[in-house]
Amino acid sequence: MDDTAAVLGLESSCDETAAAVLRADGTILAEAVLSQLEEHAAFGGVVPEIAARAHLDHLPRLAARVMAEAGLGFADLAGIAATSGPGLIGGLIVGASFGKGLAIAHGLPFVAVNHLEAHALTATLPGLVEGGARFPYLLLLLSGGHCQCVAVEGVGHFRRLGTTLDDAVGEAFDKAAKLLGLPWPGGPALERLAATGDAARIRLPRPLLGRAGCDFSFSGLKTAVAHAVARHPPGALPEADRADLAAGFQASVAAVMADRARHALDMLPAATALVVAGGVAANGAVRTALAGAARERGLPMVAPPIRLCTDNAVMVAWAGIERLRRGLTDPLGHAPRPRWPLDQLTA
């Protein structure tokens, strides 16, 4: 695949509608992300039907916009890459069907991208690490729907080393934020509140800290926050306590993340880097803790720019490029999958 070849990436797995055009050398020619926060905020979370309809309304316009900004026609593309799982099935159907339609109309190869692989391969995008991260590396995938330690051994080659036993870490952030009366999405709001609090004042549990392996658990931490809030009449939690609970919660999560990363690195001694991806990778305390764990092992901690931590089409286009350069394409009959574990991928 020539380095000047370009791919259109489409993302619609949850509540971000996104499109991007990338060259095979990693140059981002154009990108656009449309957040649906306003549509879902009143419900305190993502409503799948609303998300799917928003993707249907906005994805064609965003695709046309990035193609125009890139200065390319569809005849100039080497392929179309669309997220086809895991995620909310309605949104996946919209994005994959639109991508297949473009592929049919313009005679282009179609790549059904696994959303988790797209996050995992972001570290190989030239510019994040000089020359791109080298396989194998340890990935911590931290988002509202996923919390995993993964050995990334190559495109289509992944080994899950550990996962959450209950809540995903982003889900835990959102639930703790709701208990503290913060708006959705809870993660950014809790981080802002935590900056004003004292993490040492209210000690919260640090689940599985020091235990063997690299699995996670957050239900007990969330319950501890709920019990602390319940000691006060509804709506009467002092502002200082809210801030201290937010700070304590965030500190516990960061400590657990660093501990689990150390254990995972023990399980992957050949790792060339510690890579963190997903929406929770945007949290400053978590980044700092993981950078420390990597530094202890003499490894770099690689995290995408904040805009590429959350769902985006740049990572989808790049995953498509990585697959196309290996001759991997998908039939137009490929069905979107709401559940699609990394270890079920082929290369």
Task: Report the distance separating Cα 313 and Cα 12, nearest Å.
Answer: 9
Nearest to 325 by CA among 78, 136, 113, 143: 78
Instruction: Tell me if 115 is assigned to a ligand binding site.
Output: yes
Q: Nearest 10 degrees: CA dihedral of 55, 61, 62, 66?
A: 160
Instruction: Tell me if 311 is assigned to a ligand binding site.
Output: yes
HSE at residue 71, side-chain half, CA atoms within 13 A, is 3
Take residue 31 and report the two structure tokens written for it.
């990108």
Instruction: Tell me if 40 is assigned to a ligand binding site.
Output: no
Instruction: Tell me if 142 is assigned to a ligand binding site.
Output: yes
Instruction: Tell me if 220 is assigned to a ligand binding site.
Output: no
Instruction: Tell me if 283 is assigned to a ligand binding site.
Output: yes
Rg for the chain (alpha carbons), in Å?
Answer: 20
First-to-last alpha carbon distance for the chain, in angstroms, is: 16
Q: How far is CA 255 from the centre of its chain?
A: 20
Instruction: Tell me if 153 is assigned to a ligand binding site.
Output: no
Q: Identify whether the C-beta of residue 84 lies closer than 8 Å to the C-beta of residue 324.
A: no
Phi, psi of 317 (to 5 degrees): -65, -40
* Cβ partners under 8 Å of residue 305, min gap 6: none
Instruction: Tell me if 145 is assigned to a ligand binding site.
Output: yes
Q: How far is CA 117 from the centre of its chain?
A: 10
**Binding-site annotation, residues for substrate:** 141-145, 174, 187, 191, 283
- Binding site, by residue number, is 115, 119, 141-145, 174, 187, 191, 283, 311
Query: Which residues are annotated binding-site positions for Fe cation?
Result: 115, 119, 311
